Chain A
């Protein structure tokens, strides 16, 4: 793996802030930050069913991580947080990390509005369709 592509939701202020953090921090491998609404993202990753609803991370080899796993991959990419990526994927902490990330992701519009109150009509709130499956990931 030589490169990671992070597909973030550019409609939410929280995600854009996280993108800025990823863009400015030191990483182990080059990151490409693509907004999910862009034509390029749709063209290259249109086959990913979660595109636009969840955080998606793709490697240059075509591996796709979604949701909590994608969040861990972002942590894993940064120099400062790689250790935490492993810590948060241990059986003891993984369920908690997963729940926290799922809650953050589902309420990202509201959190963004709280951070930057300019969405009073909740127009920038995102309501992802519920995903009917277990959110378990597998551990190395």
Chain B
């Protein structure tokens, strides 16, 4: 069976798909790299090389995942008419775009998590102390704006 004779539009569909898939992946990876750097510089303030390394590794993962996925979903069953060819192309690009979108949001989530981890280390305690053993002003954190209404009172006796 000669597949090329049955679906004369398949090769142009593949060509268009390949160009768009590779172009989109590169464009998105560049956006991710450029804007992710801002996030990561904030996280790794004291070690800019680390920020760059993490950013590069994330982008490499993004490339691998997206190009691999694009290659996997490339195979089409056939396109005998020009209308069918457009439909096949649209379907493939749609699937690719949705997966790229999911990956993109996942990456944003990763950046958020990494940043949050960095911020965690410097946050003050979530609760006020119930008492103070040594008199003196607060040193490490500011005194509460108003006295707590209902503090842990000492047990009687």
Contact = CB atoms under 8 A, between A and B. Distances in A.
Contact of A133 (B125, B131, B148, B153): B153
The bracket for how many chain A residues form the interface is 35 or more
B68 interface: no
Given A86-B126, A89-B126, A134-B150, A48 B156 contact: no
Given A28-B121, A48-B133, A82-B120, A129 B128 contact: no
A65 interface: yes
A138 B123 CA distance: 17
Tell me if B's interface is mostly helix, strand, loop or mixed.
loop
Contact of B129 (A59, A76, A85, A139): A59
Interface stretch (A67-75, A106-114, A115-123): A67-75
A69 B129 contact: yes
Given A1-B141, A69-B152, A131-B155, A140 B133 contact: no
Interface residues of B, number: 30
Contacts of A64: 129-133
B1 interface: no
B151 interface: yes
Nearest to A134: B150
A43 interface: no
Contacts of B132: 62-64
A64 B151 CA distance: 12
B134 A73 contact: no
A126 B68 CA distance: 61
Contact of A61 (B116, B140, B152, B153): B140
A29 to B, nearest CB: 10
Nearest to B135: A62
B155 A138 contact: no
Contact of A138 (B124, B127, B140, B154): B127
Contact of B127 (A50, A62, A73, A83): A73
A137 B128 contact: yes
A99 interface: no
B116, B128, B138, B144 — most chain A CB neighbours (10 Å)? B128
A32 to B, nearest CB: 14
A69 B155 contact: no
A88 B126 CA distance: 9
Contacts of A1: 125, 140-141
B15 interface: no
Contacts of A129: 155
A67 B152 contact: yes
A13 interface: no
Interface of B: 116, 120-121, 123-134, 136, 138-141, 144, 148-156
Among all A-B residue pairs, the 3 with the closest Cβ atoms:
A63-B129, A62-B134, A62-B133
